[in-house]
Structure 1
């Protein structure tokens, strides 16, 4: 081995713990980031699927019978007109 290679090896050996710690931190950060992104993706996908399901359900309608009010108004008009 040349002297430069030996010096580089010694330098790398001295900083090995520090480099391994940096690598562990990078790996942990990467895992957390991937976890957060995948959780957001699953949440968004679930929300979208629920909205599609909910929009395809038949909507309930209510019918209002105004005949009683109309009859009452007509009776008021006929009694006022007399």
Structure 2
């Protein structure tokens, strides 16, 4: 009846929301990876203080990615 159809729509909507959340987390992870790659490139073409700044960014992005990945996999 109507209640069953409503429940089915609710489950369908919940599934769509979860897929979107998982996609968002994966996209966030990929963005951090791209930024990390750019920082690694910057570290290879610079020296001194600039290189140190890029290496610090690389470490930061690695840490951020480690925090994001479990959430993305959970979803």
TM-score normalized with structure 1 length: 0.48
Larger Rg: 1
Partner of 1:41: 34
Structure 2 counterpart of 1:23, from 16, 19, 38: 16
* Number of residue pairs matched by the alignment: 46
Shift of 1:13: 3.9
Give 5+ residue unaligned stretches, structure 2.
48-75
Superposed, 1:1-82 pairs within 5 Å as 13-54=6-47
TM-score normalized with structure 2 length: 0.52
Give 5+ residue unaligned stretches, structure 1.
1-9, 55-82
In angstroms, what is the RMSD of aligned CA positions?
Answer: 2.1
Name the structure where helix makes up a greater proportion of residues: 2
Deviation string for 1:9-50 (max 9, x for gaps)? x97544110001000100000000000111011001111112
Question: Structure 2 CA distance, aligned partners of 1:21 and 1:45?
Answer: 36
